[in-house]
């Protein structure tokens, strides 16, 4: 018999056995490495502010682990509870026994118990989580640009150097910006501790009337093994309130062209390339016919809304176009529980709400729960999902109207490390 429960420092050695073997990248796995992660894990376990350590036991033997992060997430302009999955791993002697799926079931129950509207994770393998009902999030684009192609007309006089003593100002700035942007997550305790200990990253802030309205963190990397004058400037974090702040940071980067011939930066803005006079990737790669590469795209966060009806009720404040009333019945399967579900979603006078049992739908949509989660979070558009055959709709005449209703001006994006 297996059972799952919270774990603490008494399981530290068994925890490290599983964790270090499951996540060996960038680790030497020697005694010094183990001591480093023992110290880190003991510190993280002692806090218990927003992270819970969970273990799966076969009798008295620890066979699986995970951490759960209690986040605050911006959902359409208001902060709501969400839960992130972190460091899930199974002992190498106990794989392929269904332990990972049992941990996932516990995680989703935990999410609902904590009031979380969304379960969030960074996947080690997309297919595994897709089968359990998780949907893909929005893309992050990485640009590797020639420094000379960045904007050069930003307000440099508003920029200030930031140091460790400015951490609270940066966190206050970050929280203010999270509260303005759909899909962003507040930083959790381990991220903040990492910022406190980071002495090698360089940071620049943008001040407006004495308040920090954005900050940028970056470092340099060698771009050549034979020429020390060739470097790349890598932007690790780019937080900004508006376009003026962003443009000022890009101008700062432009002026570092004597140190770094290229710049790497990442953005969740799908239209970011319009900001650049020449957005071409430094590789100068092209694809047929006549298309020049601008960036590399990646998908990180995956989302699952465990209870779609509760999500709608809890985000009743979201504003929609005031179109004619429409009622759509959603058919989907809870893949984790292998259970068919359905409910009627109503749009009326700029609001959405679940219909009662007597509500009669005008149109129906059949979809996977993960794809509905992506749609409800605006990580995808309904018209595209219908066009691609990801979802089925009973009446094509409703596609345009429903597409306008579901669409939101901002896709969910966060770059939290969990």
Q: Are residues 100 and 151 in the same domain?
A: no
Domain end position, chosen among 269, 299, 329:
299
pLDDT value at position 260?
97
186 domain-assigned: yes
Q: Domain range for residue 84?
A: 2-121
418 domain-assigned: no
pLDDT value at position 49?
84
Q: Are residues 228 and 355 in the same domain?
A: no
Q: Are residues 228 and 330 in the same domain?
A: no
**The model's pTM:** 0.93
Q: Are residues 104 and 251 in the same domain?
A: no
pLDDT value at position 202?
97
Domain end position, chosen among 299, 329, 349:
299
Q: Are residues 98 and 162 in the same domain?
A: no
Read off the CATH number of the domain in which 293 is found.
3.40.630.30
Q: Which residues lie across from 55 on neighbouring strands? A: 5, 65
pLDDT value at position 31?
95
- Summarize pLDDT for 335-382 with one digit per residue, the tens: 887 889 999 999 999 999 999 888 899 999 999 999 999 999 999 999
- Summarize pLDDT for 86-116 with one digit per residue, the tens: 999 999 999 999 999 999 999 999 999 999 9
Nearest residue to 304 via CA among 135, 188, 163, 187: 135
pLDDT value at position 277?
92
Q: Contact, 220 vs 201, CB < 8 A?
A: no
pLDDT value at position 110?
97
Tens place of pLDDT for every residue, the chain, 418 residues? 899 999 999 999 999 999 999 999 989 999 999 999 999 999 999 877 899 999 999 999 999 999 999 999 999 999 999 999 999 999 999 999 999 999 999 999 999 999 999 999 999 899 999 999 999 999 999 999 999 999 999 999 999 999 999 999 999 999 999 999 999 999 999 999 999 999 899 999 999 999 999 999 999 999 999 999 999 999 999 999 999 999 999 999 999 999 999 999 999 999 999 999 999 999 999 999 999 999 999 999 999 999 999 999 999 999 999 999 999 999 998 888 788 999 999 999 999 999 988 889 999 999 999 999 999 999 999 999 999 999 999 999 999 999 999 999 999 999 898 9
Provide the domain count of the chain: 3
177 domain-assigned: yes
Q: Are residues 318 and 289 in the same domain?
A: no
């Amino acid at each position: 018999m297996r059972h799952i429960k919270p774990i603490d420092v008494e399981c530290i050695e068994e925890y490290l056995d599983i964790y270090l073997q499951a996540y060996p990248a960038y680790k030497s796995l020697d005694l010094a490495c183990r001591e480093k992660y023992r110290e880190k894990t003991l510190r993280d376990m002692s806090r218990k502010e927003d992270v819970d350590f969970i273990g799966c036991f076969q009798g008295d033997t620890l066979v699986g682990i995970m951490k759960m992060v209690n986040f605050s997430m911006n959902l359409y302009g208001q902060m709501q509870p969400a839960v992130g999955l972190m460091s899930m791993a199974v002992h190498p002697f106990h794989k392929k026994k269904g332990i990972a799926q049992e941990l996932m079931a516990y995680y989703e129950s935990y999410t609902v118990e904590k009031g979380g509207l969304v379960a969030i994770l960074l996947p080690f393998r997309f297919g595994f989580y897709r089968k359990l009902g998780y949907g893909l999030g929005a893309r992050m684009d990485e640009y590797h640009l020639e420094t000379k192609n960045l904007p050069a007309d930003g307000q440099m006089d508003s920029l200030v150097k930031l140091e460790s003593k400015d951490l609270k100002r940066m966190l206050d700035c970050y929280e203010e910006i999270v509260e303005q942007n759909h899909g962003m997550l507040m930083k959790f305790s381990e991220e903040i501790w990492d910022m406190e200990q980071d002495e090698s990253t360089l940071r620049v802030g943008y001040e407006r009337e004495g308040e920090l309205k954005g900050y940028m963190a970056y470092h340099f990397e060698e771009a050549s093994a034979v020429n020390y004058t060739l470097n790349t400037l890598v932007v690790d974090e780019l937080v900004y309130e508006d376009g003026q702040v962003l443009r000022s940071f890009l101008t700062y980067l432009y002026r570092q062209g004597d140190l770094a011939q290229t710049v790497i930066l990442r953005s969740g803005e799908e239209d970011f390339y319009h900001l650049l006079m020449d957005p071409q990737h430094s590789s100068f790669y092209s694809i047929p016919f006549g298309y020049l590469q601008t960036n590399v795209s990646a998908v990180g966060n995956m989302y699952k809304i465990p209870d779609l009806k509760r999500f709608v009720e809890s985000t009743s404040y979201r504003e929609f176009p005031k179109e004619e009333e429409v009622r759509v019945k959603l058919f989907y399967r809870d893949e984790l529980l292998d259970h068919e579900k359905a409910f009627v979603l109503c749009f009326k006078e700029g609001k959405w709400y679940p219909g009662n049992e007597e509500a009669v739908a005008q149109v129906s949509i059949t979809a996977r729960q993960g794809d509905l989660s992506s749609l409800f979070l605006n990580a995808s558009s309904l018209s595209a999902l219908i066009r691609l055959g990801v979802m089925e709709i009973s009446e094509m005449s409703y596609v345009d109207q429903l597409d306008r209703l579901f669409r939101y001006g901002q896709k969910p994006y966060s770059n939290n490390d969990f």
